[in-house]
Structures are given as C-alpha cells and as structure tokens.
Amino acid sequence: MLASAPAPAPAAGEATPVEPIPGGSSARWVAALREQGRHPELAAFLGFLVPGLGHVYLGRTLKGAVAFVFLVGLYAAGILVSQGECVSLDKQNGHPYAFFAQVGAGLPTGLALLHSHSYEVKRALGMEAERPSEPNVESPDYVGRLPKLDEGLLYTMIAGLLNLLLIHDALMGSPGSALRREEEKRRASARSGTPSAATAAAGLAQGAA
C-alpha cells in the first residue's frame, strides 16, 4: 500500500527521475502506524484524556513525558493559584466560555469540574450536600482573589489549547520531520539511482517506529 511500482532505471548520463510520492505525509504516517498495529485515533483520545499519553502509546515516550510535565504542570498551577475556582460552568460565578479552551485537557478538566460542581454532583447521586454560599462579589477578600483567578484561567486555558495541538500531532504526525526524512531518502535514492517512493515510505515508517 505504501510503495508504488519501481520505475525503470535511467539511461547512462541521464538524470535520475524523482517520483512524486502519492498522498500527503500525514496520510502515509497514519498508514505506517496502522501497519505497526497502532491506532492514531486511540492515541488522540488518550492524548485528550491525559496530555502526553497518546504519544507514549505511539512509542514517542520522551515527547509524551515532556508534554505531560509541561501541560499537566501548567494546568495544576492554574488550579492551585485559583484554589480550584477557574474551572466552572456556573453562569453567574463561573467561566463557561473559558471552559471551551480548558476542555482540551480532558481528564484534568473533568476532575476540576467535579470539584467545582461537587454540590450538583452529590445531589444528582442522591447524596446529602450542603449548598455552597453565594460569594459576596464586593468583599475585599473576593476582589483580592480576582487576579489569581485570572491567572488560573489563563494557565488552564493555555494548557487546554496547547493540548489540542498535541492531539493533532498524535493523530496526524509531525509533517516537518516526515517531510525531511522523505527528502533525505529521495535524495539518497536519486544519488544511488534506485526508485524513491518505496524507500521514502520506508523512511516514514522508520520515523513512526
């Protein structure tokens, strides 16, 4: 599926033709992963749940581990500085629009949401729960906490949005690396005079591994 039919060898003194590689680099990246029994869709889902987990599943452990440290660290810092108040769907006191950015980090956002809506969750489960008191928005304590709340919102939103990029990377691969590998293989095969598409695809598969 990855390789095309070999081209005829060039005549003496003729420049070696370089075959166009069929399909985009991402399509071949996905095909190479599937041949190894790995599913980019599952990687994307795992990456959505826990930042970096999708890359670990794909065998790119270092990238996944660094992503986990950066994004989960950033998210946790946001939760800590805002005392868990920055993730909330409450229309009066919450930030429902920020949630659309935060939701990029699935499991951390889910846990923070459970924390901030613990009253509603307990009620839904039929458990006894004490209704939280409405915050006094004019009190100096509340006003003093607002900058930290903004900081927490910023960190969690950035972590969620950056994780969307990582999910895309787990799903489609890194075009820069794939294209560079292909180019190197094509140049090498052009120098040696062998067909390039198969070797380029092999290089892509090697990168996926």
Partner 1 sequence: MIDLLSFAAVCAATAFVCTAVKEDEPSRLGGSSLRVFGVLAAGIGAFALVIQVFTMLAG
User: Which of 103, 162, 197, 201 contacts partner 1 by CB under 8 A?
Assistant: 162
Is 165 a residue that touches partner 1 (CB under 8 A)? yes
Q: In this structure, are residues 94 and 116 in contact, taking their beta carbons and an 8 Å threshold?
A: yes
Is 174 a residue that touches partner 1 (CB under 8 A)? yes
User: Which of 128, 131, 176, 191 contacts partner 1 by CB under 8 A?
Assistant: 176
- Residues within window 24-63 making contact with partner 1, judged by CB under 8 A: 60, 62-63
Sign of the CA dihedral running 178, 167, 68, 85? positive
Is 101 a residue that touches partner 1 (CB under 8 A)? no
What is the total residue count of the chain?
A: 209
Q: Give the number of other Cβ atoms within 10 Å of residue 107's Cβ.
A: 14
Torsion of CA 181, 185, 191, 193, to 10 degrees: -160
User: Which of 73, 132, 135, 193 contacts partner 1 by CB under 8 A?
Assistant: 73
Is 168 a residue that touches partner 1 (CB under 8 A)? yes
Cα separation, 204 vs 29, whole angstroms: 6
- Residues within window 114-153 making contact with partner 1, judged by CB under 8 A: 151
User: Which of 67, 79, 103, 105 contacts partner 1 by CB under 8 A?
Assistant: 67
User: Which of 106, 108, 160, 173 contacts partner 1 by CB under 8 A?
Assistant: 173
SS (H, E, C) 62-82: HHHHHHHHHHHHHHHHHHHHC
Least gap, CB of 180 to partner 1 (angstroms): 9
How wide is the angle at C-alpha 201 spanned by C-alphas 60 and 12, nearest 5°? 145
Binding site for partner 1 (CB under 8 A): 60, 62-63, 66-67, 70-71, 73-74, 77, 151, 154-155, 158-159, 162-163, 165-166, 168-169, 173-178, 207
